[in-house]
Structure 1
Amino acid sequence: MDSSSHKIYHVHGFDSRQHLEFYLSDKPDMVFGEDCLAFPIESLKKAFKEGHIKGDVLIDFSLGSLVHHLIAPSEFFNHIIVLKVKDRCIMELKRWLNTRTGAFDWGHAAKLHGEMQENSDRSVDKEEKVRSIVQHVVKCYPEMKNMTDPIVLPPADCIISFWLLDSICKDQNDYRRYLRKFSGLLKPGGHLILIGGLDITYYTVGKDKFHAFPYDEDFVRKALVGEGFVIDNCKVQKRTNVSDLVDYKAIIFIAAHKEK
């Protein structure tokens, strides 16, 4: 299958539960635990523990129906607004938020976060904390000038984007354009955290391959600086698994702040 036939996340959508099962479950045959769970959780925990990233409003604009990356910031913000581009992902997330039967179990991620804090007995409390501060789940349209039209979002103290830009950007100009949109949503001095896969060209959900935009660490750094961000922290972890579901070479975690 050549790349021109790959599906596009924000156009075609995917089965959000399959995505979670493939890349983020605690099943014995799920090989992405280190890259997709442990590395992001540890990097986020350390970034927020430093105490510089905190405030009132955090906006999450991430792929699928992810939750585990919100555990760390839930201790430092009063409100989380989650943006989603597909209704199916909204439904999957709300199933977990409302503790409905059949919701995806994020207990393993909460436990992992707790173990990193030597506090593994409070994993349920961590999940409830996230639920308590996710104030809104908002449908958004990435290509629109105001992505949440007609809703106008409040200025954010922080934005987290996990795998999203990898999936919706066509090229380097597109990536920079979304960084510009993120900047417009942030308060002066606000923080932006990006997590993604380096040199990725596709990922698989179910039987379908999806487009991914390939980039390297140097490009992300230059793109952020070019859009008025100051980089505070950058970590890159080489791929630790063997799987043909996705072809990234490494995982990048990068935290920056908008110049005042």
Structure 2
Amino acid sequence: MDSSPHKLYHVHGFDTRQFLEHYFSDKSDMVFGDDTLKFVIENLRRVFSGGHIKGDTLVDLSFGSAVHHLYSACECFQNIIVLKVSNRCIMELKRWVDDRTGAFYWGHTSALHQEKEENSDQCQDQEAKLRSAIQHVVKCDVEKENMTEPLVLPPADCVISACVLDLISKDQDDYIRYLRKFCGLLNPGGHLIIFVVLGATYFTVGKDKFHVFTYDEDFVRKVLVGEGFIIDYCKAQERTAVSDLTDYKAVMCIVAHKEK
């Protein structure tokens, strides 16, 4: 069992706006752009453009209140259900979904998503399309058998989870247990898309350090295969950012599915 004094994301929570400013903003001193923005957007654009991941419902269970990983998803799914472990994250996300004054600015990420398109003026349309696709933002408790109790979600054709497993798991057993819960949201034959950070032990928001479960690519591959998944796509990128806010070594995208 991890004995780190670091806080736990799903237990202690953090300042959601400060977190977004640190890791996802368009500010000149935000050094994580290649890893947290470009890597995510480019890989998901590639994954969803293949046309084999589609359906009625997509469930997103990712950390913080980020939305940029869902631009490509809303091209293939008209019904996106977002799960969040904290009320702060829900409030931050809903402020953007409802297009309210004071919402975090994501225009730089929609521009990244559209940069290879002929008409870059579609950025606002892309954000509006995503807002329309996000049908529900739901509080969840990862410790409950039904994480959205008392609500029972419809089976999803795709589940996206960005880094949540890394942050809530204290050890290997935790990781496998939570992964099974997340996969329980899937239809048979549905696709799981996860973004992970490799070799990390912490990330920082403000004055607080938060726990990250440390593992490597071999571990996550073995876990997925052990749970009956077939890995369709895997892409890793070594860390490009220079900052002591967090200590990950690489970021990775994995797409997998179970046979029906």
In the superposition, the TM-score normalised over structure 1's length comes to 0.98
Q: How many Å apart are 1:229 and its aligned residue?
A: 0.9
1:236–1:253 CA contact under 8 A, matched in 2? yes
Instruction: Note the 1:117-128 alignment, pairs <5 A.
Output: 117-128=117-128
- Partner of residue 221, structure 1: 221
- Could you tell which deviates more after superposition, 153-162 or 110-119? 110-119
- Partner of residue 256, structure 1: 256
Q: How many Å apart are 1:178 and its aligned residue?
A: 1.6
- Partner of residue 241, structure 1: 241
1:141–1:147 CA contact under 8 A, matched in 2? yes
Q: Counterpart of 1:148 in structure 2: which amino acid? A: T
Instruction: Note the 1:1-260 alignment, pairs <5 A.
Output: 4-260=4-260
Taking the aligned partners of 1:194 and 1:118, their CA distance within structure 2 comes to 29
Q: Counterpart of 2:51 in structure 1: which amino acid? A: G
Gaps of 5+ in 2: none
1:168–1:212 CA contact under 8 A, matched in 2? yes
Taking the aligned partners of 2:32 and 2:95, their CA distance within structure 1 comes to 24
Local SS of the residue matching 2:190 = strand
Q: Counterpart of 2:116 in structure 1: which amino acid? A: M
Q: How many Å apart are 1:165 and its aligned residue?
A: 0.8
Local SS of the residue matching 2:81 = strand
In the superposition, the TM-score normalised over structure 2's length comes to 0.98
Taking the aligned partners of 1:75 and 1:50, their CA distance within structure 2 comes to 12
Q: How many Å apart are 1:259 and its aligned residue?
A: 2.1
1:163–1:196 CA contact under 8 A, matched in 2? yes
1:197–1:250 CA contact under 8 A, matched in 2? yes
- Could you tell which deviates more after superposition, 198-207 or 117-126? 117-126
Taking the aligned partners of 1:238 and 1:146, their CA distance within structure 2 comes to 36
Taking the aligned partners of 1:192 and 1:117, their CA distance within structure 2 comes to 27
Local SS of the residue matching 1:55 = coil
1:113–1:120 CA contact under 8 A, matched in 2? no
Q: RMSD across aligned C-alpha pairs, in angstroms?
A: 1.1
Taking the aligned partners of 2:233 and 2:117, their CA distance within structure 1 comes to 21
1:59–1:158 CA contact under 8 A, matched in 2? yes
Runs of 4+ that moved beyond 6 A: none
Taking a change above 3 Å as real, the CA distance of residues 51 and 201 of structure 1, as seen in their structure-2 partners, is: same
Taking the aligned partners of 2:258 and 2:78, their CA distance within structure 1 comes to 20
Taking a change above 3 Å as real, the CA distance of residues 37 and 3 of structure 1, as seen in their structure-2 partners, is: farther
Local SS of the residue matching 1:100 = coil
Taking the aligned partners of 2:138 and 2:219, their CA distance within structure 1 comes to 30
Task: Output one character per residue of 1:184-237: Cα deviation in whole Å (capped at 9) or x when no partner.
Answer: 111111000000210110000111000000111111111011111110000000
The count of aligned residue pairs is 259
Q: How many Å apart are 1:3 and its aligned residue?
A: 6.3
